[in-house]
Every structure is written in structure tokens, then in C-alpha cells.
Amino acid sequence: MKEAQPTEAPLAEAIASEAEKLGLTLPAGAAVRLADYVTSLWDWNEKLNLTRHTDAERFVSRDVGDAVAVASHLAHGERVLDVGTGGGTPGVILAILRPDLRVELCESVAKKAKAVGEIVRETGLTIPVHAAAGQEIVAKRPLGPRRFDTLVMRAVAPLVKLLGWFEPQAGSYGRLLVIKGPKWIDELAEARAVGRGKKVTIRPIATWPLRGTDNESVLLEIR
């Protein structure tokens, strides 16, 4: 891919305007960095299926909105792993909104991992990108200063699968923060029906409107 060019002001302005409409507070300069990121993401999206949010309105309401919700529940300096990052959401956006965080990304689909690595580079960020499943990365860091405080997930898998992957490793990371839709209660019932969730506590800690629908997004904390 070509080197990213300076972002045109209208996109950054559109992102700032959409954020203001939704009551989302962006740090100084974040709209420009977000525009740089999404310009690269949309460029790569022409070759790979990385996102369905291909205009400023949907990008801000869904991707930025989700990241803002997660960011408010992260302490200063947390080490965060974005599991199944796809095109870099919410991990890249978290890194832009919260430079204090130590964000890393992982993606088990090799071609997507390569693409998001290029997107990160083109955006001018320094974020490690791992071409591996999240549970593999976590298993390598069960103790010590590089242990992850929080694993963040959005649109990765149903809870029954997530718990199957990460509940056995519950002592090797701090917690999971999982973005879910209104069907999370059904997913939790499915997981508990097969004995999952016995070693962890699962609770909703935030909700926010899912723009354009009557539904809400939910942030689940799993410890």
C-alpha cells in the first residue's frame, strides 16, 4: 500500500461534528488522527473485508462510540490487548483517544493482521500487532510486567466461545471487557447451560444507544 497522505480537513471536521452530535468528547487533535486511521482503513477495505462502517457517521457512532465507552473504564496506563481486532477497532481508536494506554492488537487471520499492521504504520502509531489468536498471546504472558490488564473484544464470537477460550486462563490476565448487543443475555444462558462461566464473574457495567435502532450496546466485564 502507498504511504498515507495528510488527511483532508473535511473528514476530520466531519468526525468532530458527528462526535459533537452524539455528545462524545474527543481529546485535542484526536479527530485528525482518527481521520488518518479511517482513511487508511477504508483504503484497505477495498481489498479486504475489514469494516462495514464506511462513512463518517457510522464510523463515529459505532466505532468511535464503542471505543469511548470502553476508554472510560480503563485506568491510566493499563496494558490492553484488542482480541480479534479485524481492521483495528476498538484498539487503534483506544490508542488515539488514550495515549497513556499500552495497547496491542491481535488477529488470527494472517492477511487481516498484515493489513492492520500496515494501517497502524500508515496512521503513524506504534502499536504491536500479533498474527495469532488472543489465547496464544495471553498464554505467553501469565505473569510479570507484560501481563495484560484488560482484554477487549467486539464482534469476535458468542460468549460460549469466548468463555471456552479465556475462562481456563482467567488467572493469566486481569479481566475481559466485551462489547455486546441486546442478545448477550441469551448468549450467557447458552454458555451457562454447558457449564461455562463458573470460574468468573460476569456483569454489565455500561450501556449506550445503538444509533439507528431501538437497541443498546452493552459492555460486559468478566473477571
pLDDT value for 213: 76
The predicted structure's pLDDT at residue 6: 46
Question: What is the pLDDT, as a whole number, of residue 214?
Answer: 78
The three grid cell numbers given for residue 1, joined into one nine-digit string: 500500500
Neighbouring-strand partners of residue 79: 102
Q: Residue 80 belongs to what H/E stretch? A: strand 79-83
Helix (H, G, I), strand (E, B) or coil at 28: coil
Domains of the chain, each with CATH number or no CATH: 65-222 (3.40.50.150)
User: For residues 119 and 124, what is the distance between their CA atoms, to the nearest angstrom?
Assistant: 9
- In 3D space, the residue among 72, 53, 66 whose CA is nearest the CA of residue 92 turns out to be 66
Whose CA is closest to 97, among 80, 112, 83? 80
3-state DSSP assignment of residue 3:
coil
Residue 1: per-residue pLDDT? 45
Q: Are strands 216-222 and 175-180 parallel, antiparallel or unpaired?
A: antiparallel
Angstrom distance (rounded) from CA 163 to CA 160: 5
For residue 12, give Cα distances in angstroms to 59, 65, 131, 185.
12, 16, 30, 37
3-state DSSP call for residue 219? strand
What's residue 5's pLDDT? 43
Within 10 angstroms of residue 8's Cβ, the number of other Cβ atoms is 10
* Rounded distance between C-alpha atoms, residue 156 and residue 140, angstroms: 21
Helix (H) or strand (E) segment spanning residue 120: helix 110-123
Length of the chain: 223
Give the pLDDT score at 8.
55
Determine what percent of the chain falls in helix, strand and coil, rounding each to the nearest 5: 45, 15, 40
Block means of pLDDT (10 residues each) for the chain, length 223 residues? 54 97 95 98 95 95 97 98 97 98 98 98 97 97 96 95 96 97 95 96 94 87 97
Question: End-to-end alpha-carbon separation of the chain, Å?
Answer: 40
Integer Cα distance of 72 and 69 in angstroms: 6
pLDDT at 139: 97
